[in-house]
Amino acid sequence: MAQSEQQVFEETVYQVGALAGLARAAGITLHHVKVHGALYNLACRDDAYARPIVEAAVLFDLPLMGLPGCRIQTLAAGRCRFVAEGFADRRYQTDGSLVPRSDPRPFVENTEEAVQQVESLIRKHAVQTICVHGDNPLALDFIRELRKALMNKGITIRPF
């Protein structure tokens, strides 16, 4: 769904503000902003979507996540902290973008492959945080296996 930069900004501010209010009521604070799904993919490659999301992160003084080398990173430079994110359970295209879910094989399901991918993302792209999608019924087991394998390889897992 096409939206103007103003609409993206307003919706992002509304959602982050609502979440910040709920978090505060629960006695916790927000630590970062990460847009989701199609908006994430659009913002990673299109300034018209990245710019208003960066503006919202600046407004809330929160770090912003995105793919290494994406438009979010470029536009966040000097404005807000950028946290390079990698995906353990998604395949990548040669340009560094995620393989679309419409592709026949968009997901990494094998833990060994995921560990190799995460190691590469850390080494080659300075990834600071790893995402695993929770909509897979096997996500919890996948995360446990992935965490154990990464720790066995000496990779420190800690909050960014």
Instruction: Give residue 103's domain range.
Output: 88-160
Please tell me whether residues 92 and 41 are part of one structural domain.
no
Q: How confident is the model at residue 159 (pLDDT cuts 50, 70, 90)?
A: confident
CA distance 63 to 82: 6
Task: Based on the fold, state whether residues 153 and 97 are members of the same structural domain.
Answer: yes
Q: Encode pLDDT of 38-72 as tens digits.
A: 999 999 999 999 999 999 999 999 999 999 999 99
pLDDT digits (tens, 9 = 90+) for 33-45: 999 989 999 999 9
Please state, as a whole number, how many other Cβ atoms lie within 10 Å of the Cβ of residue 110. Answer: 12
Does residue 145 lie within any of the structural domains? yes
pLDDT at residue 150 is higher than 80: yes
Q: Check whether residue 93 and residue 160 sit in a common domain.
A: yes
In-domain check, residue 30: yes
Q: Comparing C-alpha atoms, which of 143, 79, 146 is closest to residue 116? A: 146
Final residue in a domain of this structure, among 65, 99, 118? 65
